[in-house]
Amino acid sequence: MNFAEQLPVLPIITPLLLAPITLLLPKGRAPHLYATFVSWLTFAACAYLLAAVAQSEAGFFSYHLGAWAPPLGIEYRVDIANALILLLISGIAAVVFPFAYRSVQLEIDERQSPYFYGAMLVCLTGLLGVTITGDAFNVFVFLEISSLATYALVAMGARRDRRALTAAFNYLIMGTIGATFFVIGVGLLYQATGTLNMADLHDRLTGQSNRVVDAGFAFILVGIGLKLAMFPMHLWLPGAYAYAPSAVSAFLAATATKMAVYVLIRFIYTVFGFDFEFLGAAFVWVLLPLGLAGMFVASIVAVFQEDVKRMLAYSSVGQIGYMLLGLSFGTVEGVAASLVHMFNHGLMKGALFMAVACVVLRAGSHSIKAFAGLSRRMPFTAWAFILSGLSLIGVPLTVGFVSKWYLLQAAFEAGYWHVGFLIVLSSLIALLYIGRIVEVMVLRDPPEDGQYAIPNKDAPLEMLIPMWVLVAANIYFGLNTELTGGLATRAAEALTFTAGMGQ
Amino acid sequence: MMETWIDFVVARYNYWIVIVLMMLGLYTVFARGNLVKKIVGLNIFQTSVFIFYITMGKIAGGTAPIYIGGELDHGGGHGGDDHGEGGHGAGHGDAGHGAVGNDNGGHDAGADAHEASSAGADHAKIENTFDANDLKSATNAFEAHDAEDLKAAAGSLHNAPDNLPADIGKSANTTLADAAKEALKTPGFKPEGEAAVHGGANGAEAVAEAAAYHSEVIYTNPLPHVLILTAIVVGVAGTAVGLALAVRIREAYGTIEEDELEAMDNVAEFGDKAAEAAGSAGA
Amino acid sequence: MIQPFVAMGLAVGLPLLGCIAIWLLDKSPNLREAATLLTAGALLILTIIVFIAVGTGARPQLFAFQVIAGLPIAFRAEPLGAMFGVIASGLWLVNSLYSIGYMRGHNEKNQTRFFMSFAVAISAAIGVAYASNLFTLFIFYEVLTLSTFPLVTHYGDEKARNGGRIYLGVLMATSIGLLLPAIVWTYAIADTTEFTVGGVLAGNVDTAGPIVPVLLGLYAFGIGKAALMPVHPWLPNAMVAPTPVSAFLHAVAVVKAGVFSVLKIVVYIFGIDLLRDTGASVPFMWIAAGSILLASLIAMNKDNLKARLAYSTVSQLSYVTLGAMLATSMGVMGGASQIAAHALGKMTLFMCAGAIYVAHHKTLVSELNGLGRVMPWTFGAFFLGAMSIIGLPPMGGSWPKFFLMLGAADAGQIAIIAVLMISSILNVIYLLSIPVRAFYMNPAEGDAKPQGARGAPIQWGHLKEAPLLCVVPPLMTASGALVLFFAADPLYQYLAPIIAEAG
């Protein structure tokens, strides 16, 4: 037993086993420092894992939990696609955790702080677990681990705004229904094949097309759709992200929906594959139209929000539309575009929500009114928001542009001309809602009196540094697409090959 | 005609229960304004899924998958050693093995390679309440694994999975019936096998007999039970969080009725106008 | 002597360094302005080095780095770009001198931001000039849009905000909504976005289908900076900016970058042979012609001097587009020389308008009666500039008109010749009427005593001229326009390779 063999399990057990210790720590700094440390460990493990997978010849690692061989034992199967998502999730965690302290201090009861960081670590475990596992039922278990932690985390926002409680409750209801639908789907697949291992499922589903499998697919699609806030099943998301503590919003917005999109990709491409007749219909009649509808409806709703967090949340729903579009093309370029956008959107939304968290810290509000004249009061925060906002719009030299380029290219090469134009049209809506905030920040004078009159003081360094790390990542990955674009293309090739394109 | 239809419905009564519970639960979640009732609905909904999983793990005549009698690591109970392992050849796993072997996996669709060679458990499936699809997938089970790989099944249970590498789809494409006959006819199966073949008309009994010869117990498929145990734990946790939230909501708002909560939130968001509107609407 | 390719790289990078220097020297305006002028001077030398090298037949290349596989940021100078580079940097130097006079004469606030934005914008303009592929061009095009936004909204009041909103809205909407898909589409068709002699589309595209005209339309309207009607509204609306900014937008960089891009795309992406053979450009030729006349008619009815000049710009820019769309070598030559001639002429006019505003706070044409008697130098320069714009000898502006007419004759479009003539007559009416008023008409009653701006006009005997720095630059550019008339042959010889290359 050497280190490399055990590597795939490290991203899971590190946060999982270390999380309960958080509860034993005295409240205050200690849990925060500890959790930050754990998140960095996890990030290191994920980064190492990605590097190892990218270099391995087979293109994937298979880890047998408890040395029980698949298909009976639970298998962790890491290929480039999920290693990339693992890196994103743990990377965002590694940035959000150090960032969180001041924001959490303000927004959460101090007595709860050990629980808060513990729950964050558990949530991180769940997100990573869903991504890494190669077992369909295990996906459900980790999904619920992360979701349960998330409900609690969202509800902790109640100290500032009691609406966090109702938002968390709604999220719980919808999340549980989604997870249960998913379990039903997995059960049906089990009934049809007698296995839960994804690779095994793929082998046995090949050539099968009957109502049991169709129903299983439909249940899984709806279940994951609820989790990833696919339009029109997104209604829980804006409330949850708007009222959750700012650090939680930043973390979830950047990771949770990405993880769900990844699960969808994994099920569509690895488990079902192009052989599955139902899939074509799902692409053309479900994913593509819903993706487009989400892009437009949610983005337009975002334009009219007075609450910046809520606006960003709606924007997230719209951005999920892009990811669904990419994967619904069913081509290598499309899946690559989806993966790239997942990664990139994580970076930009994380940075945007972090900027909002800084504003909340100083102004005590995330209403658009609190942003007036921000470029003069909190220049570093304001510019972080502006740069990542430009990234969201898709301005060149940012990651948003790379996403858009991949997506457009995929659309054009797949022959969906009209979709290509709809994509750019909807990014113009992003220009509207981001432009609105930017205009307020840059051109309005800071209010002299009233609720939003705050001193000219930028956020503390411990928040600015992590935020600017993400902003820098927004620029860096906009210039160097080797990691995102290159790996995503390789991952997409592998995925579409398993799905049956290579045959 | 009518009768077959009724038979069709009645024979699947367990699925009807699942569906009715599912709809009932979902309806409660969406139609009730009271948060606690919503949670209750959610639980009913989840319960339907539990039943669904249990249903698919059930084997007619099978008992709960809890091991009865004998030492686990003692080869006699379930290993093939006692009764002519060599004679089985490819069909190494005998009926007794099949029964215990259920511990390791599903019965009906055959992740479980044991059943590929053991007629017992697979045969029992014929009597199960599944429709044609399941039979079809059960057939797949026979393709599942090369029985050659099962050589050391007689060890402790913990060793068993190691011996089941996914060597899928190698074996012959035999149908269920053929495979069952084949296994029963294998010379190594000896006298009991004959009895089983003769009793083939009512397979379950024959299989039960065959199984009884070795271990006296038929177990239902334990895997769905394990899964659903996990799901129950998750469900309980979800319920706990939900109820805790309901408590907190009551502390914060003084009510757990959804429409009242919404009205109060509207006031918070849009000020007094909304309050008036809510008031007039309420009146 | 610096290697031309090094000079090219430095030309893009130097203004950014200048920007940082300006920021650091915020506290001492004299040093800050020195930094601006120093940068501008050095930049001019660098672009001249490139210009001379290109004139000897060299095509210096510089590869920066690869963003997405197959899409590098790279530079390659050719005659058109080298000419644009020299014009932009030379006029920036003049404009900087003028800005210093104007901004100080006006005691403007936020001067540091102003000069910083200028430096970034000129860097972007140089990047556009030397871009070796569409992708690079697009990136710098967007940077140019964004960096000029703070300039347009310089005053920060409600009017400036509205103007800025339209400016950014139109330019971003067209570039993201039309130009970006066009580029991706081109890439999907030709698998390259490299500017290639003879075009990259020929041979890769079905010439009978609608693809060529549709794509050309996407480019023609997607390059909003070329202000082809109906995507021109940003230009008049940007008039809210201080006059140096208007001069910069109209003469130095922004609109020139637009028409330059149109010309370059027509010549190096489509290839004029393809356009001539397919006839795809004919509709756009008529749109350009309509734009010329319509804008002139609108200009006649504008009393506000700057608005009149703005519509004159819209009209004059369409000359370049018209030249490109004629799809003949003479047309391209006319368009290319129009870039140079219009830059000098319009620069002069705007700086004169600014000088009038600084000295007498006049913005309306009807207020200018008799003003020429106290500001003879300013109005003298205005007169020369107007002559050049109209195309009267002995000003440089007469050559492009001549080439365009030749080109129209080559293309067999006699009606276009008529359009050009009518347009010149309209130009005479709305431009020459201004100096005529100023010199020959008597000041209106009660207006006898010109009101000084915040800085009192300079008294030279009975003259009340603007500050020296506001008067000398327009005289410089006006004499430049005069020189251009006699330097037509060298210019023609210099640009000849484009049409030779274009065939």
Residue B105 burial (CB count, 10 A): 26
Spatial distance between the Cα atoms of A323 and A308, rounded to a whole number of angstroms: 23
Contact A443 C69 (CB under 8 A): no
Minimum-distance CB partner of A158 among B26, B133, B248: B248
Establish if A148 touches chain B: CB-CB under 8 angstroms.
yes
Contact A428 C146 (CB under 8 A): no
Give the largest CA-CA distance in chain C. Answer: 70
> Tens of pLDDT along C152-192?
888 878 888 888 889 988 998 899 889 999 998 898 888 88
CA angle C211, C212, C214 (to 5 degrees): 65
Q: Which residues contact A7 (CB under 8 A, 6 or more apart)?
A: A45, A48, A49, A52, A61, A63
Contact C168 A435 (CB under 8 A): yes
Distance from CA of A163 to the nearest CA of B (A): 7
Establish if A403 touches chain C: CB-CB under 8 angstroms.
no
Distance from CA of B162 to the nearest CA of A (A): 5
pLDDT at B92: 35
Best mutation target, A401, A407, A487, to test chain C (most C CBs within 10 A): A401
Strands (E), A49-103: 60-64, 75-79
Contact C173 A431 (CB under 8 A): yes
Contact A428 C176 (CB under 8 A): yes
pLDDT at B194: 39
Nearest CA in chain A to B136: A192
Digitized pLDDT (tens) for each residue of chain A, 503 residues in all: 567 778 888 899 999 999 999 989 888 889 999 999 999 999 999 999 999 888 888 888 888 888 888 777 888 989 898 899 999 999 999 999 999 998 988 888 888 889 999 999 999 999 999 999 999 999 999 999 999 999 999 999 888 888 899 999 999 999 999 999 999 999 999 988 888 899 888 888 887 778 889 899 999 999 999 998 888 888 899 999 999 999 999 999 999 999 999 999 999 988 888 777 778 888 888 889 999 999 999 999 999 998 999 999 999 999 999 999 998 888 888 999 999 999 999 999 999 999 999 999 988 888 888 888 888 888 899 999 999 999 999 888 899 999 999 999 999 888 888 888 899 888 889 989 998 998 888 888 887 777 777 777 888 888 999 999 999 999 999 888 888 888 888 888 888 888 775 43
- Within C301-328, residue ranges assigned H as helices are 305-326
pLDDT at B129: 38
pLDDT at C462: 65
> Tens of pLDDT along B26-67?
999 999 889 999 999 999 999 999 999 988 887 777 777 777
In contact, C175 and C254? CB cutoff 8 Å:
no
Average pLDDT over residues C62-89: 86
pLDDT at A148: 94
Best mutation target, A439, A444, A477, to test chain C (most C CBs within 10 A): A439
In contact, A198 and A134? CB cutoff 8 Å:
yes
Q: Is the peptide bond before C244 cis (omega within 30 degrees of 0)?
A: no
A187 to chain B: which residues are within 8 Å by CB? 49, 52-53, 56, 224, 227
Contact A203 B168 (CB under 8 A): yes
Q: Which residues contact B71 (CB under 8 A, 6 or more apart)?
A: B77
pLDDT at B69: 62
Least confident stretch, A258-262, B171-175, C269-273, C295-299: B171-175
Contact C68 A435 (CB under 8 A): no
Distance from CA of A19 to the nearest CA of B (A): 18
Spatial distance between the Cα atoms of A271 and C265, rounded to a whole number of angstroms: 46
Helix/strand/coil (H/E/C) assignment for every residue in A445-475: CCCCCCCCCCCCCCCCHHHHHHHHHHHHHHH
Length of chain B: 283
Does A383 or B282 have the greater pLDDT score?
Answer: A383
> Tens of pLDDT along C88-127?
999 899 889 888 888 887 777 788 888 999 999 999 999 9
Average pLDDT over residues C199-228: 86
Q: How far is CA C149 from CA A358, A436, C139, C161, C414, in A?
A: 26, 14, 16, 10, 41
Does A200 or C466 have the greater pLDDT score?
Answer: A200
Distance from CA of A281 to the nearest CA of B (A): 22
pLDDT at A275: 75
Spatial distance between the Cα atoms of A71 and B144, rounded to a whole number of angstroms: 11
> Tens of pLDDT along C289-308?
999 999 999 999 888 888 89
Token pair in block for residue B202:
């009512």
pLDDT at B152: 33
Establish if A480 touches chain C: CB-CB under 8 angstroms.
yes
C146 to chain A: which residues are within 8 Å by CB? 390, 395
Does C70 or A374 have the greater pLDDT score?
Answer: A374
Nearest CA in chain C to A425: C177
Q: Any idea what DSSP says for residue A329?
A: T
Spatial distance between the Cα atoms of C423 and C312, rounded to a whole number of angstroms: 10
Report yes or no for ipTM above 0.85: yes
pLDDT at B135: 40
Query: Count of CB contacts below 8 A, A vs C?
Result: 75
Spatial distance between the Cα atoms of C502 and C78, rounded to a whole number of angstroms: 12
Residue B12 has pLDDT above 90, yes or no: no
A 61-100 near B (Cβ less than 8 A)? 67-73
* Nearest Cα residue to A325 out of A315, A312, A334: A334
pLDDT at A56: 85
Distance from CA of C377 to the nearest CA of A (A): 38
Which of A56-60, A483-487, B175-179, C263-267: highest mean pLDDT? C263-267
Establish if C55 touches chain A: CB-CB under 8 angstroms.
no
The gap between the terminal CA atoms of chain B, to the nearest Å, is 57
pTM of the model: 0.83
Contact A443 C164 (CB under 8 A): yes
pLDDT at A264: 93
A176 to chain B: which residues are within 8 Å by CB? 42, 46, 235, 238, 242
Spatial distance between the Cα atoms of C3 and C318, rounded to a whole number of angstroms: 36
Minimum-distance CB partner of A71 among B138, B166, B234: B166
pLDDT at C210: 82
Best mutation target, A190, A214, A365, to test chain B (most B CBs within 10 A): A190
Minimum-distance CB partner of A409 among C150, C168, C184: C184
Establish if A184 touches chain B: CB-CB under 8 angstroms.
yes
Q: Do chains B and C touch (3 or more CB pairs under 8 A)?
A: no
Residue B13 has pLDDT above 90, yes or no: no
Average pLDDT over residues C465-481: 85
Residue B122 has pLDDT above 60, yes or no: no
Establish if C64 touches chain A: CB-CB under 8 angstroms.
no
Spatial distance between the Cα atoms of A188 and A216, rounded to a whole number of angstroms: 5
Contact B137 A194 (CB under 8 A): yes
The mean of the pLDDT values for chain C is: 86
Minimum-distance CB partner of B38 among A67, A173, A196: A173
